[in-house]
Amino acid sequence: MPGLPPDHERYARTALPAYGRGSDSALRLLSLSENATYLVDDDDPMVLRVHRPGYHSLDGIRSELSWMASLRAETAVATPELIHAEDGRAVVAAAVGGHMLNVDAVTFIEGCTAEEKPEAVGFDELGRLSAQMHDHVERWSAPHYFTRFRWDVEATVGPCARWGDWRAAPGLTSEGVAVVERAANTVAARLTEFGQQPDRFGLIHADLRMANLMIDPTATAGSSPITVIDFDDCGWSWHLADLGAVVSFVEDTPAAGHMIADWLRGYREVRDIPGEHLGMIPTFVMLRRLMLTAWVASHSDADAAITFTAGFATGTVGLAQRYLSDRGWMRYE
């Protein structure tokens, strides 16, 4: 993992005493992606996240956790509950061999991810939750230290994009690069023209993919079965970038269209989307695919990258061709 040391478990164990747990507590690695996430597997389970160095500042991590906690307290959006260290810290500095990594902890959410049980996901409900998140930011008084990065054109598809260069994706031919290049240039131009006015650009989750939705199959009628997790990439971007993330890794499948239609129906029950914005949906779907293609190339040892590497770049070329030529693709009214 770029920047994450191979002995990340040692940092998790170093942080455990700050939460009143023994350093020899049972740990189970839940996921290895941008960060290393561990389950403290005892009678009072909790989830520890070991942050890679150099990506977020301490205030950036505190900012993420503050929005997650505020959503939990002030809206119907279910999120994990932040667990403070015994001395009240939201983030613990764990030092190993002269090096330090930040660690935080949240409650363990029962159930499974939406990847494991996709049939249990109501995308209309996810649309309603997304709209509530966007509404919440507009009235929220963020703490004075609040800082998060921007997912704008430069950060997503620029020469120094935050997730890397999609051109490095395994399996891309020179012909494929030429097609995707045209699509990327078109995406950048349309996003620049679309602009960043407050009615379309704000603080978003930015990674509402299936792996970041926990599903409670026992949820009763009238309650949402969805818990939104992993706010690590939350930042300032277009509202519809959250929709693009919903269809991550399946953008080129028939299922994506149904997921988007359901999400839009639920979202518009809570918050309006002007017709001008709806016309940008193909661009946000293509933007997300470009970002993921770069991410797979630059995170070859991440769990998701390992799963989706084979044939992913070829699928991106096909999606780029469709984006450039099919005016009826991903069109909604």
Domain boundary among 93, 108, 123: 108
Structural domain count, the chain = 2
DSSP H stretches of helix in 75-158: 123-139, 153-157
- Assess whether 244 and 281 both reside in one domain: yes
- Assess whether 187 and 267 both reside in one domain: yes
- Assess whether 68 and 176 both reside in one domain: no
The predicted structure's pLDDT at residue 103 = 98
User: Is residue 330 in a domain?
Assistant: no
Nearest to 47 by CA among 196, 229, 236: 229
Supply φ then ψ for residue 329, to 5 degrees: -75, 130
- Assess whether 153 and 173 both reside in one domain: yes
- Assess whether 166 and 24 both reside in one domain: no
User: Is residue 288 in a domain?
Assistant: yes
Nearest to 35 by CA among 101, 100, 95, 97: 101
Domain boundary among 108, 133, 168: 108
Could you tell me the sign of the dihedral formed by the alpha carbons of 290, 299, 296, 298, in that order? positive
User: Is residue 305 in a domain?
Assistant: yes
- Assess whether 240 and 91 both reside in one domain: no
- Assess whether 16 and 91 both reside in one domain: yes
The predicted structure's pLDDT at residue 34 = 85
- Assess whether 125 and 228 both reside in one domain: yes
- Assess whether 297 and 154 both reside in one domain: yes
CATH code for the domain in which residue 244 is found:
3.90.1200.10
- Assess whether 240 and 147 both reside in one domain: yes
CA distances from 269 to 79, 129, 253, 310 (A): 21, 11, 26, 38
CATH code for the domain in which residue 89 is found:
3.30.200.20
User: Is residue 331 in a domain?
Assistant: no
User: Is residue 186 in a domain?
Assistant: yes
Residue 232 DSSP SS3: coil
Nearest to 15 by CA among 104, 112, 109, 82: 104
One digit per residue, the tens of pLDDT, for the chain of length 333 reads 457 899 999 999 999 999 999 999 999 999 988 899 999 999 999 999 999 999 999 999 999 999 999 999 999 999 999 999 999 999 999 999 999 999 999 999 999 999 998 888 899 999 999 999 999 999 999 999 999 999 999 999 999 999 999 999 989 999 999 999 999 999 999 999 999 999 999 999 999 999 999 998 777 666 678 999 999 999 999 999 999 999 999 998 999 999 999 999 999 999 999 999 999 999 999 999 999 999 988 876 655 555 666 689 999 999 999 999 999 999 887
Query: By residue range, what is the domain housing residue 250?
Result: 113-325
Domain boundary among 108, 128, 144: 108
